[in-house]
Structure 1
């Protein structure tokens, strides 16, 4: 499990982060052990801005929407494990008005996005 902090570097991006992509910076942050235990010990729900959603509880998963969100999460986990469970310092984020891209080790090594 990992979490990301979004830092708004302008007044307008503090109101709506989508209004000033160039002012945003990102950091991967640690998840406290008690938070991790609480999340992993209960149902997990996810929603995406495109309307996709997934819910995992008691070993079963339900998902719907324009893409299979849980499948994308599983693919991301597989990539994470295959790359030796990289620490947060190995990840980076590039954000412009046109694109948001997560990368591993170098900007030229983009992490694949979940597909429809």
Structure 2
């Protein structure tokens, strides 16, 4: 099957930038968590305990910049900040679900390939 991606240099650059963002270490986990509904920063941090506060902040800002996440501030003391997926963020869920299904379907094949590769590497 041939990819259905435009091949002019401007499109390729934008696609590469977007795929780099979507492929970030924490992006899929954050988007998946937010698919359940709005969450506060502390809830996301608790849910994804392995992520540092700095990386969660950075990833949320990146997702907000690209239009996948909306940051909603409720004026109160202290201010309440919730993060939620935008329509664009919800549109991303379909491809992420498909990629996740592909990963589950092929996990054994990938593991077998890794074992074959490692067996051929001297000194491993």
**Normalized against structure 2, the TM-score is what?**
0.27
Larger Rg: 2
Question: Which structure features the higher share of helix residues?
Answer: 2
Question: Which structure features the higher share of strand residues?
Answer: 1
